[in-house]
């Protein structure tokens, strides 16, 4: 079978990799078109400096990079290799950066790549141009190196051509032709070029910096900003005279000055991120033949490079004997969150994008997209952070896309704390409680654009009642002891939490119940008033999301979801007959979680309905009035205490807050923030999708088997589960940490002796249990309760004990009472 007719737009590193990967899976009815000549098309791949550093806070990005390294290492063109594995060295010239290199060593080790921390002498030995006096230490990844991007394009296109793929140079795409099916679905039909139409069942836009322009032809807005980035080349450096090989020294990063370096015989390439952001609109990029050198290469602006050259001469003194001989301002793609844009248009079936991908991840993305297209899902990589449909509506606004793209350029090499909110364009989304939260001196962080209190300084007086242990310096950023006091006050009395940022979807229609049965792992079509915790799975049994499904009417359900991808997933699977609709109701509604042992005493007197255990059991929902506010009350709690999520329309939110606030006073009730929330949920062992488990994990490994009802009828992923059930080799495992200063943040490696055996997902201090908590993915053999393992945290190895979970209230007496 030759597969459907595929047109790939763009023959850069991504398009070429995809053509190769598709054709090697038997899809050979593939045409690659590019407006430029081949293999030097004039896009970003044609000028890319080719440095492949695999280290990344994202596990997926590291894995995409690792595959790119493996693949390019196996490719050559006429005997010339596509990858020079010279290693990658990052050096620190400040104590902060040295600490950061330990953290980066932790990530890359956690993701399974060999890495070594080096002292200054070892750095200089590897890269003798370094000034020993300026270097405090380094991080070496021996498998990093230089990709020859144009050769990689050539090699992969040749391989694809050999299997029958057509590669058409100098074909400019003018339009994407779509048609509407009888059932109302828009589909791609053809790609219109200046040489005529090419029929297509599937189109994949790999057009890089031109992506927004091409995607718009299919009615899709791509949140991508092309930015110019300076790359300069020295003339001959005298001490390097006679270097025959293209590269012998490792590729080098000097992040303290926004710089990187690579060899080219007796010269050096210097890349710089320290200059002002220089965005260019995709519509203003020069056409292939009008460009001075090539469309993605703009004239070098020397003034912007002045500091880079000064810094270079300081770090690499031998360059003082050389001059900058040439330079470019090269365009490449930035996104609002630094991640690529992969997936299918929500509106036009068959129109796909693989955009904002750097050379580093290109072959990995080629493979990921090929699996996704051929198998219907990608099983080698967890792509939830890369999905083009991950954005909230405001994140597609042009000014947001531009501002955040520029910001990401500026922050490329910055040391970013995991909790650090974006610094600009705030506030964007505010809940109806925002004014009150400010009055209470909330410390706000951002969640999906929502301003969300992390803690309230107004709660400082609580510190007189409890001794809250301080974490280490890094974890103490964007933290306050008030976090601990709020957690303890919730367990002791009552607190309200702003849950507005929790994504809410409404599913309605006569087919709603059977649709949701087919989409989720549990029986969600129980009586009206039921609430069910359930999972949505991929075809291969991987977890797409964990959700709550509340049946509010015979044909009306409210879903507590994890983000826009849940809406996208449900929408894609809607029956074609119009019997079900799905709608995001988050923005028009709001939610307060009222939780704690005193919650019932606070709520009952305000309510026109029975909130006793008989009146509303655990995991049941009903309509009621709280004072004059109509609410939907759901009895469940992510913090593990008695109480309800109280939903109302946005216009009544403030009234709900004020009503509860007044009623809480006699009980010393408080407003509490996300810091406390996160600690409480980990004490209770509740997982968070995207952090604790993702597409790559199944319910059995993740400790969520209880949410799967195999006898409930068929649902997506069910068939795959039968096999995965008996093949569990790793487990999401609870670890406790005795030393409060050893409480980690997530993404750290877990060692069993000298060997790294897994990685931390979520972590927090458990104020009730008086221990640090870290959840980690570990092989079953390492996960025996009572064993002591070590977590790599900066330069420390923190002892952590495998523990039975949940750590708090395993008998559920708090919740069910």
**Binding of ligand THG by 792 (CB under 6 A):** no
| Region of 74-82, 279-287, 557-565, 750-758 interacting with ligand THG (CB under 6 A) | 557-565
Of 548 and 586, which has the nearer Cβ to ligand THG? 548
State which of residues 520, 562, 632, 733 lies at the interface with ligand THG (CB under 6 A). 562
Of 46 and 632, which has the nearer Cβ to ligand THG? 632
Of 345 and 500, which has the nearer Cβ to ligand THG? 500
The nearest distance, CB 522 to ligand THG, in angstroms, is: 7
Residues 703-742 that bind ligand THG (CB under 6 A): none
Secondary structure class of 257 (helix, strand, coil): helix
The nearest distance, CB 601 to ligand THG, in angstroms, is: 22
Interaction pattern, residues 626-645, with ligand THG; x per rule: CB under 6 A: --------x-x-x------x
Tracing tokens 């198998």 back to the chain, one arrives at 375
Of 612 and 811, which has the nearer Cβ to ligand THG? 811
Task: Count Cβ atoms within 10 A of the Cβ of residue 461 and give its class: 0-12 exposed, 13-18 middle, 19 or more buried.
Answer: exposed
The nearest distance, CB 758 to ligand THG, in angstroms, is: 22
| Residue among 20, 546, 568, 584 flagged as catalytic | 546
The nearest distance, CB 703 to ligand THG, in angstroms, is: 9
Q: How many CB atoms lie within 10 A of CB 802?
A: 21
Phi, psi of 227 (to 5 degrees): -125, 145
The nearest distance, CB 94 to ligand THG, in angstroms, is: 40
Among candidates 230, 191, 227, which has minimal Cα distance to 208? 227
Phi, psi of 164 (to 5 degrees): 105, 0
The nearest distance, CB 699 to ligand THG, in angstroms, is: 12
Interaction pattern, residues 592-611, with ligand THG; x per rule: CB under 6 A: --------------------
121 is catalytic: no
Of 383 and 633, which has the nearer Cβ to ligand THG? 633
| Region of 283-291, 559-567, 580-588, 672-680 interacting with ligand THG (CB under 6 A) | 559-567
The nearest distance, CB 689 to ligand THG, in angstroms, is: 7
Tracing tokens 């593939």 back to the chain, one arrives at 30
The nearest distance, CB 153 to ligand THG, in angstroms, is: 42
State which of residues 502, 676, 716, 763 lies at the interface with ligand THG (CB under 6 A). 502
Beta bridge partners of 329: 230, 298
The nearest distance, CB 686 to ligand THG, in angstroms, is: 4
The nearest distance, CB 547 to ligand THG, in angstroms, is: 5
Of 619 and 661, which has the nearer Cβ to ligand THG? 619
Q: Left if phi > 0, otherwise alpha if psi is -120 to 50, otherwise beta: which for 180? A: beta
Beta bridge partners of 593: 497, 645
Interacting residues of 232 by C-beta distance below 8 A, sequence separation 6+: 269, 270, 272, 300, 305, 308, 309, 324, 326, 327, 328
| Region of 55-63, 126-134, 281-289, 560-568 interacting with ligand THG (CB under 6 A) | 560-568
> How is residue 347 written in tokens?
């509106």
Residue 448 has, within 13 A of its CA and on its CB side, a CA count of: 18
| Residue among 105, 127, 171, 229 flagged as catalytic | 229
Longest pairwise C-alpha distance within the chain: 88
Residues 666-695 that bind ligand THG (CB under 6 A): 686
Contacts from 659-665 at CB under 8 Å and sequence distance 24+?
A: 659/606, 659/626, 659/627, 659/628, 659/629, 660/496, 660/592, 660/594, 660/602, 660/603, 660/606, 660/626, 661/436, 661/496, 663/602, 663/603, 663/605, 663/606, 664/494, 664/496, 664/602
Among candidates 779, 783, 784, which has minimal Cα distance to 757? 779
Of 258 and 498, which has the nearer Cβ to ligand THG? 498
State which of residues 273, 479, 497, 619 lies at the interface with ligand THG (CB under 6 A). 619
Interaction pattern, residues 173-212, with ligand THG; x per rule: CB under 6 A: ----------------------------------------
Among candidates 149, 60, 141, which has minimal Cα distance to 101? 141
| Region of 87-95, 317-325, 555-563, 777-785 interacting with ligand THG (CB under 6 A) | 555-563
Question: What distance in Å separates the CA atoms of residue 92 and residue 88, rounded to the nearest whole number?
Answer: 14
| Region of 237-245, 277-285, 545-553, 625-633 interacting with ligand THG (CB under 6 A) | 545-553
The nearest distance, CB 448 to ligand THG, in angstroms, is: 13
The nearest distance, CB 636 to ligand THG, in angstroms, is: 5
Phi, psi of 326 (to 5 degrees): -150, 165
| Region of 161-169, 467-475, 546-554, 768-776 interacting with ligand THG (CB under 6 A) | 546-554
260 is catalytic: yes
Question: What angle, 0 to 180 degrees and rounded to 10, lies between the N-to-C axes of helices 59-73 and 362-375?
Answer: 100
Beta bridge partners of 431: none
Of 164 and 817, which has the nearer Cβ to ligand THG? 817
State which of residues 20, 355, 498, 546 lies at the interface with ligand THG (CB under 6 A). 546
Q: How many residues bind ligand THG (CB under 6 A)?
A: 14
Task: Count Cβ atoms within 10 A of the Cβ of residue 193 and give its class: 0-12 exposed, 13-18 middle, 19 or more buried.
Answer: buried
**Binding of ligand THG by 533 (CB under 6 A):** yes
Secondary structure class of 226 (helix, strand, coil): strand
Whether the CB-CB separation of 786 and 719 falls below 8 Å is answered with no
* DSSP code of residue 693: B
Of 196 and 706, which has the nearer Cβ to ligand THG? 706
Of 145 and 690, which has the nearer Cβ to ligand THG? 690
| Region of 7-15, 322-330, 355-363, 558-566 interacting with ligand THG (CB under 6 A) | 558-566
**Binding of ligand THG by 647 (CB under 6 A):** no
The nearest distance, CB 593 to ligand THG, in angstroms, is: 8
Of 364 and 766, which has the nearer Cβ to ligand THG? 766
| Residue among 67, 260, 400, 695 flagged as catalytic | 260
Interaction pattern, residues 753-782, with ligand THG; x per rule: CB under 6 A: ------------------------------
Strands in 45-172 per DSSP E: 51-52, 76-77, 80-81, 83-84, 88-92, 116-118, 137-141, 145-147, 166-168
361 is catalytic: no
Residue 334 has, within 13 A of its CA and on its CB side, a CA count of: 27
State which of residues 327, 471, 560, 675 lies at the interface with ligand THG (CB under 6 A). 560
Could you tell me the sign of the dihedral formed by the alpha carbons of 196, 208, 354, 365, in that order?
A: positive
Of 329 and 500, which has the nearer Cβ to ligand THG? 500
Question: What distance in Å separates the CA atoms of residue 36 and residue 157, rounded to the nearest whole number?
Answer: 14
State which of residues 7, 141, 547, 642 lies at the interface with ligand THG (CB under 6 A). 547
Q: How many CB atoms lie within 10 A of CB 114?
A: 11
Q: How many CB atoms lie within 10 A of CB 168?
A: 15
Tracing tokens 């406390």 back to the chain, one arrives at 676
Whether the CB-CB separation of 330 and 229 falls below 8 Å is answered with yes
| Region of 113-121, 439-447, 456-464, 544-552 interacting with ligand THG (CB under 6 A) | 544-552
Catalytic center residues: 229, 260, 546
Chain residues that interact with ligand THG, rule: CB under 6 A = 502, 533, 546-548, 560-562, 619, 634, 636, 638, 645, 686
């Amino acid at each position: 079978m030759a597969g459907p007719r595929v047109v790939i737009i763009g023959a850069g590193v991504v398009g070429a990799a995809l053509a190769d990967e598709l054709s090697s899976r038997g899809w050979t009815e593939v045409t690659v078109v590019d407006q430029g000549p081949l293999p030097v098309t004039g896009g970003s791949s044609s000028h890319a400096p080719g440095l492949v550093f695999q280290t990344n806070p994202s596990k997926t990005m590291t894995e995409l990079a690792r595959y790119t390294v493996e693949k390019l290492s196996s490719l050559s063109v006429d005997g010339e290799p596509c990858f020079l594995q010279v290693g990658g060295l990052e050096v620190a010239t400040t104590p902060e950066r040295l600490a950061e290199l330990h953290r980066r060593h932790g990530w890359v080790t956690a993701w399974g790549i060999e890495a070594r921390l080096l002292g200054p002498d070892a750095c200089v030995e590897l890269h003798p141009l370094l000034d020993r006096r300026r270097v405090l230490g380094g991080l070496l990844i021996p498998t990093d190196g230089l990709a020859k991007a144009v050769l990689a394009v050539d090699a992969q296109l040749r391989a694809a051509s050999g299997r029958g793929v057509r590669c058409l140079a100098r074909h400019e795409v003018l339009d994407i032709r779509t048609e509407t099916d009888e059932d109302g679905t828009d589909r791609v039909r053809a790609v219109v070029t200046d040489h005529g139409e090419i029929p297509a069942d599937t189109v994949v836009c790999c057009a890089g910096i031109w992506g927004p322009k091409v995607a718009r032809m299919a009615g899709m807005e791509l949140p991508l900003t092309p930015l110019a980035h300076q790359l300069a080349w020295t003339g001959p450096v005298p001490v390097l005279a006679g270097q025959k090989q293209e590269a012998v020294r490792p590729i080098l990063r000097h992040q303290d000055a926004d710089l990187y370096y690579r060899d080219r015989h007796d010269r050096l390439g210097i890349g710089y991120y320290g200059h002002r952001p220089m965005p260019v609109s995709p519509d203003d990029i020069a056409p292939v033949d009008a460009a001075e050198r090539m469309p993605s290469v703009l004239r070098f602006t020397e003034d912007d490079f002045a500091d880079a050259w000064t810094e270079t001469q300081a770090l690499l003194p031998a360059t003082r004997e050389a001059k900058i001989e040439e330079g470019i301002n090269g365009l490449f793609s930035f996104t609002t969150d630094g991640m690529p844009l992969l997936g299918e248009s929500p509106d036009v079936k068959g129109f796909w994008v693989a955009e904002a991908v750097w050379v580093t991840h290109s072959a990995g993305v080629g493979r990921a997209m090929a699996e996704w297209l051929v198998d219907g899902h990608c099983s080698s990589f967890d792509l939830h952070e890369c999905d083009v449909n991950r954005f909230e509506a405001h994140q597609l606004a042009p000014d947001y896309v531009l501002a955040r793209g520029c910001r990401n350029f500026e922050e490329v090499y910055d040391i970013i704390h995991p909790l650090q909110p974006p610094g600009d364009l705030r506030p964007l989304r505010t809940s109806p409680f925002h004014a009150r939260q400010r009055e209470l001196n909330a410390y706000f962080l951002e969640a999906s654009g929502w301003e969300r209190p992390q803690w309230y300084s107004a709660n400082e007086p609580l510190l007189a009642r409890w001794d809250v242990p301080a974490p280490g310096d890094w974890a103490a950023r964007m933290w306050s002891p008030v976090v601990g006091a709020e957690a303890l006050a919730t367990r002791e009395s009552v607190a309200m939490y702003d849950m507005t940022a929790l994504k809410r979807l409404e599913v309605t229609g006569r087919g709603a119940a059977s649709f949701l049965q087919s989409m989720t792992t549990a029986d969600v079509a129980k009586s009206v008033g039921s609430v069910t915790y359930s999972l949505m799975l991929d075809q291969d049994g991987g977890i797409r999301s964990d959700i709550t499904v509340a049946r509010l009417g015979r044909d009306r359900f409210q879903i507590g979801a994890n983000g826009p991808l849940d809406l996208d997933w449900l929408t894609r699977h809607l029956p074609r007959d119009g019997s079900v609709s799905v709608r995001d109701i988050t923005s028009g509604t709001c939610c307060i979680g009222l939780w704690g042992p005193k919650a019932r005493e606070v709520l009952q007197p305000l309510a026109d309905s029975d909130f006793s255990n008989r009146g509303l059991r655990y995991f049941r929902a009903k309509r009621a009035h709280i004072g004059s506010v109509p609410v939907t009350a759901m009895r469940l709690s992510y913090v593990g205490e008695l109480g309800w999520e109280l939903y109302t329309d946005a216009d009544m939110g403030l009234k709900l807050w004020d009503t509860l606030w007044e009623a809480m006073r006699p009980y010393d009730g408080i407003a509490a923030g996300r810091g406390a929330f996160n600690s409480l949920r980990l004490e209770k062992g509740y997982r968070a999708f995207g952090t604790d488990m993702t597409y790559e994990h199944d319910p059995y490994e993740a400790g969520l088997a209880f949410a799967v009802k195999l006898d409930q009828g068929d649902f997506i992923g069910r068939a795959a589960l039968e096999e995965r059930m008996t093949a569990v080799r790793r487990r999401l495992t609870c670890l406790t940490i005795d030393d409060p200063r050893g409480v980690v943040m997530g993404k750290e490696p877990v060692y069993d002796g000298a060997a790294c055996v897994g990685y931390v997902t979520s972590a927090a201090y458990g104020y009730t249990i008086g221990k640090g908590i870290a959840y980690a993915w570990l092989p079953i053999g390492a996960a025996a309760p009572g064993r002591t393992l070590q977590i790599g945290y900066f330069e420390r190895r923190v002892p952590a004990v495998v523990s039975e979970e949940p750590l708090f209230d395993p008998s559920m007496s708090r919740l069910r009472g």
